[in-house]
Structure 1
């Protein structure tokens, strides 16, 4: 599973938890509702700006995850 698919699944789960349709979420974000479906399927290379709008509408944070580095070197 790709990172896009993982992110999409998390967004879909949050949208469903908040009982929102893709159209409702898209209206809240100001984007086309078909793009919400593409994002949730991992079929759309979403920009940080759009991802931020979607996360804001869902009340979620975008988190940057750092991989653990061996020997403490970056």
Structure 2
């Protein structure tokens, strides 16, 4: 698999996880954006896997969702 595809797949997976947590809260994208202090466009892009989110935005999203942000995991 190509390096760019691996990165895209990880972004897509992260976005799907964020979407699942948001919908479990019963929130619309706009609500998450407001709580996290970011734009709804950022939420849409992150959830779609199209945005290479910086760590600050990701921390805001995780905090708003009450989620733990794990920086690096070693997979076996």
What TM-score comes out, normalization by structure 2 length?
0.84
1:66 aligns with 2:74: yes
In structure 2, what is the equivalent of residue 55 of structure 1?
Answer: 62
Q: What value does the CA root-mean-square deviation take over the aligned residues?
A: 1.1
Task: Quote the offset at 1:21 in angstroms.
Answer: 0.6
Q: For the residues of structure 1 that align with 2:52 and 2:73, how far apart are their CA atoms?
A: 19
Q: What SS does structure 2 have at the residue aligned with 1:2?
A: helix
5+ long unaligned stretches in structure 2: 1-7
5+ long unaligned stretches in structure 1: 69-74
Q: For the residues of structure 1 that align with 2:29 and 2:61, how far apart are their CA atoms?
A: 11
Bigger radius of gyration among the two: 1
Q: For the residues of structure 2 that align with 1:25 and 1:67, how far apart are their CA atoms?
A: 30
Q: For the residues of structure 1 that align with 2:51 and 2:18, how far apart are their CA atoms?
A: 13
**Structure 1 segments (4+ residues) deviating >4 Å:** none
